[in-house]
Every structure is written in C-alpha cells, then in structure tokens.
Amino acid sequence: MSEKFFEIENLDVNYGAIKALENITISIEEGEIVSLVGANGAGKSTLLKTICGFLKPVRGKIKVFGKNLLKLSTDGIVKFGITMVPEGRRIFPNLTVQENLKIGGFSLKSKNIYEDLFEFVLNLFPRLRERLKQYAGTLSGGEQQMLAIGRALMSNPKVLLLDEPSMGLSPKITGEIFELIKKINNQKKTTILLVEQNAKLALEYSNRAYVLETGKIILAGESKNIKENPLIIKAYLGG
C-alpha cells in the first residue's frame, strides 16, 4: 500500500489540563485545497501550530510521504516543505518588501530556484514588485497579506498552511486574495490547508473540508456537499 501524501492520525493536543484537539484524523492528497471550518476556539489554529511544530501533541502522528514530522524541529519542518502563513500576517514591518521575501527563501540552497520563485511571487503579486524597496509596515492590509503569502512561497513549500487569510480585509481584497490562492494551487500545484473563519468562502475555494467543533472533527467530505448540509448552513453559512 503506497504512502498517502499528507496524513494526520489520532492526534490529541492539550493546553495544560484542557483538551484542545481530540482524535484528529485528516488526509490530504497532493495538489488539493482542503479547508478547516469551525467557530472561534474550535481548534483550527491549534492544529496548524501543531503541524508546524510549535505545539507538541500528547499522541498521534503527522506524516508527509510517510515522514514523521513530529521528529523534526520547526526549522526542519520548513526545510522539509511545510510553511505557514500565520494569522495576522506577521511580516517584518521594519524591513523592506524585498528583505521580507529574501528571509522567506533562507532555506533554499539553489540560487536558480530562489530567482525563479522570486519572479513567480512578483508576477503573482505585481503590487509587490512596485514596492520592493518600501518598508513592509507601510503597506496596506491587503498588500501585507500578499507579502505574507509571497514570503511563504519563497520557501518552495510542498504544503502551504493558511491561517485566516481574510482577517481584517475588505470583501473586495478578500476576493482578490482567494483568487490568488487558487492561482497558486493551479500554477504551482501547491497543496494547501486552509483555515478560514468565513466558512462560505473556504468551502467555495476548497476541494474537500473538515468541520471542527470543540476540538473534534464532526464532519468531513467534499466541500460542495458540506456546503449543502443543513446543519452547516444553519451553523456557519447564515442559513
């Protein structure tokens, strides 16, 4: 039996005595966009932080092509190809756009790959090309989100983790960002795990979805089917 591309098995994560995630099992095929849907406090961001090595689970496995990520350091996880765009963007405001992108590509060993990715990011986000010498802290919210995604892409990720990419953005800019996320997936075949408070948007742009409620998965399947589920419509889609 061949290894799955990305899988999480029976994952438990605690915050002290509080169980934050319980028996989480997720699989993602290479090239998919998969969304995690749930209310605030459901455990979505906790799961991303655990994948990145910021939190250590009580039990369970996280594997990419059979490689156990839990045995790697946070830096090792990035080098292996897992990169997160954190909630709130967290760019370096006192560095220029170009310097932020350069930091994103720190783990690359090939100058040619670095240059190819740099051009890909600037073609994807033309506004960043216009602002390369500008301090990142002076960018608009939408431009900062573009920079945060661009910086993550500079590490040439196998899996891109996006934590609340629409946070603080207008509906128009949010629409632009999600179209660009789709473009990244189409052009680079990057696998994307998306956490998004806007459930309607997340389900519209993903292939499959998992619904989290108080640290447990209560529903999983194709996004189009979940979007039509009466319970999900009532709880998350304003129906």
pLDDT tens per residue across span 96-128: 999 999 999 887 888 998 999 999 999 999 999
Local confidence band at 238 (pLDDT 50, 70, 90 cut-offs): low
Helix (H) or strand (E) holding 149: helix 141-153
Helix (H) or strand (E) holding 208: strand 208-213
Q: Positive or negative, the Cα torsion across 165, 105, 139, 179? A: negative
pTM assigned to the model: 0.91
CA 55 to chain centre: 16
Distance CA 19, CA 58 (A): 10
Distance CA 38, CA 49 (A): 16
Distance CA 106, CA 30 (A): 24
Reported for 231-235, long-range contacts at CB under 8 A and 24+ positions apart, including other chains, are 232/37, 232/199, 235/39
